[in-house]
Amino acid sequence: MELGDCIHSFRSVDLAEMDAVALINRIDTKFVFPRSMLDTVLAALTSDYRILEINGVRNHHYDSIYFDDARHSLYLMHHNERGNRFKLRLRKYGSTGSVFMEVKKKTNTGRTVKERKKTDAFSEVADSSQLDFFNSAGGRVSDWIYSLRIGFNRITLVSIDPPERVTLDLDLQVEDREGHFPLGGIVIAEVKQGSRASSPFLSLMKRMRIQPGSTSKYCLAVTLLKKNIKYNLFKSRRDRFLRVESIHHQ
């Protein structure tokens, strides 16, 4: 599905300007809604945010390779509601071609802290420097191996004052070496704030009666792709994604 004209109605912001709202240590609030609602959501926000534009592109492709151990311990830490947990990935930013190794941590206070470092290789086999970074930044040494891959397109909205970013991920594709699962009918929205403050996006979600919910693309992908994996605590979230996706095909 093509994006409507509303994506071009926003004033633009470039990468240098967006550095002011990097929000590496932040509070995240997530939402899921049908792709069919995206134009309505964007049209309501044009006066409150600017949109990230790189080389004339406003809808940017991201490709992420996730790593875990053979027991899927990082997934299970999240499933078992461990307060301090993390995920490991290589992420390729399509609009710039840059690749970063990233450790995304969730603290027991509910904050998200991301550590990242630029790298050259983007492969399902992490090299020694990437493994060293994962072990150091994650604070846990293990034999990290390829788990799965997630691709999506992202629209990024930026508010400078108060500092806030809103990411809208669409055209989601998840795959591993055994299978592939497209999720083109959903949008995953994430509000990223340094501290809780009034937010036009959060207000809009409330008016539209779209409820926030904990959403992990990695954990969702694991439940869809991995056989015989425990996911009872994620079942309601997984079913919600699949219900929203089914609307796209009706």
**Would you say residue 10 lies in a domain?**
no
* DSSP 8-state assignment for residue 242: H
Asked whether residue 209 is domain-assigned, the answer is yes
- Is 2 part of any domain? no
**What CATH number has the domain bearing residue 115?**
3.20.100.30
Instruction: Kindly state whether residue 148 falls inside one of the protein's structural domains.
Output: yes
184 inside domain: yes
Residue 172 lies in a domain: yes
219 and 230 Cβ atoms separated by less than 8 Å: no
Dist. CA 166–CA 170, nearest whole Å: 13
The residues of the chain scoring below 50 in pLDDT are: 1
Q: What is the pLDDT of residue 94?
A: 86
Distance CA 246, CA 105 (A): 31
Confirm whether 53 is domain-assigned.
yes
| Total count of domains within the chain | 1
Check residue 95 and give its pLDDT: 83
Query: Does some domain include residue 228?
Result: yes
Give which of 232, 244, 229, 237 is closest to 183, Cα–Cα.
244
Q: Please give, one letter per residue, the 3-state secondary structure of 35-96.
A: HHHHHHHHHCCCCCCEEECECCECCEEEEEEEEECCCCHHHHHHHCCCCCEEEEEEEEECCC
pLDDT of residue 84: 87
Q: Which of 168, 169, 167, 163 has the alpha carbon at shortest distance from 198?
A: 163
Strands 25-34, 11-13: parallel, antiparallel or unpaired by DSSP?
unpaired
| Residues of the domain holding 207 | 23-248
Neighbours of 145 (CB within 10 A): 12
Per-residue model confidence (pLDDT) at position 1 = 47
